[in-house]
Amino acid sequence: MKASKAMQEKLLALQALDSSLIQLDHKAKNLPVSKLLDEKTVAHATARDLCVAAETEKSDIKHELSKSEVDVEQVVSRIERDEKRLSSGQGTPKELEQLQHELGSLAKRRAELEEIELEVMVRIDSLDQRISSLSAERDALHEEVTKLAKEKDRALEEINRAKNATIADRTSLMNEIESELLALYEKIRASGDGIGAARLHAGQCQGCNLSINAADLSKISALPDDEVVRCEECRRILVRVS
């Protein structure tokens, strides 16, 4: 294939733009803020779920507390009723003795129920503290996630602006390159990790970074300037620049 030296050099300019696009895509996919955002998003979801779980546990314990309170009220009501009967002195000595025995049992039961009630209240207080802590952590993480998401959006917008400008330059430059040469470049670039043309510098192909032996260099040097040369190793277009 034939192409003027100037036309071949345009390929290097086009390659530089394509390499910039590759770098911009890589940058967009590997933003440090993206990794941090993912970590904080997971942490926020965890704190949120733990908070919901603690609230659910508290609701269940409050039902338990309500039951304990009812049990205590029933025992207290029974104690008050028996004390009135005992104070009235009505009944046989045996019945009054049974009342005294029952009052002793009820007092013991009341103490047990009040102890259970106190334990439940302590558990609720502990959960309230946990919920407060988790809620604060959840809200703080939400703010971080929101802030990082905006930071990521700004970074991507900046990258997209650079990409759009590069694409515009690329489109303009493509119109200056002969169609046959451009088609060859695009074909090689598609199968060559995004590199279709490389500079021949100091006896080395800058596409694959392999040195070319002296015999092949001599053959390349003897070719006309408008001869399109390919690297024997990577098959990319070699552009000879003085």
Same-domain status, 231 and 128: no
User: What is the pLDDT of the chain when averaged over all its residues?
Assistant: 89
Task: For 199-213, write each residue's pLDDT tens digit.
Answer: 999 999 999 999 999
* pLDDT mean over 155-165: 98
Same-domain status, 45 and 96: yes
pTM of the predicted protein model: 0.71
Cα 242 from Cα 232, distance rounded (Å):
21
- The residue segments making up the domain with residue 46 are 31-164
Using pLDDT thresholds of 50, 70 and 90, give the confidence band for residue 119.
confident
Same-domain status, 231 and 121: no
Task: For 42-67, write each residue's pLDDT tens digit.
Answer: 999 999 999 999 988 888 877 777 77
Same-domain status, 191 and 147: no
Using pLDDT thresholds of 50, 70 and 90, give the confidence band for residue 91.
low
Contact 233, 210 (CB under 8 A): yes
* pLDDT mean over 109-119: 76
Token readout for 179 is 């169609």
b or e along 185-196 (b: 16 or more beta carbons within 10 Å of the residue's beta carbon)? beebbeebeebb
Whether 169 maps to a domain, the answer reads no
Same-domain status, 11 and 112: no
Evaluate if residue 236 carries a pLDDT over 70: yes
Evaluate if residue 3 carries a pLDDT over 70: yes
Q: For helices 5-29 and 179-191, what crossing angle results, to 10°?
A: 40
